[in-house]
Amino acid sequence: MNEIKHYAILYEWADWVDSQDVMQKFHISVRTLQNWRTNGLLPYSRLSGKIYYRKSDILAVLQKNYTGKRKSLLEDLND
């Protein structure tokens, strides 16, 4: 039973990333990430001055803003 708890804790830790990881993944600036936090777009947690984000929250934001199926190259040429 303790082993199951251990893996659950490791999974929970694996869900968190810091600001640097988010900026690198999305190719955004410090200011853009700050705007996302300020505007409530991306939930976060602050600990000792360092900011952390849940990967699951980031994926939820991406999913929420997903526009759907992309046009094919042929559709683009016909427009």
Q: What would the pLDDT profile of 30-40 be if each residue is shown by its tens digit?
A: 999 999 999 99
Separation CA 21–CA 54 (nearest Å): 11
Q: What would the pLDDT profile of 43-69 be if each residue is shown by its tens digit?
A: 999 999 999 999 999 999 999 998 887
Instruction: Look at residues 13, 16, 27 and name the one whose alpha carbon lies nearest to residue 58.
Output: 16
Give the DSSP letter of residue 72.
P
Left if phi > 0, otherwise alpha if psi is -120 to 50, otherwise beta: which for 23? alpha
Which residues fall within 8 angstroms of residue 23, CB to CB, at 6 or more apart? 29, 30, 33
Q: What is the pTM assigned to this prediction?
A: 0.70
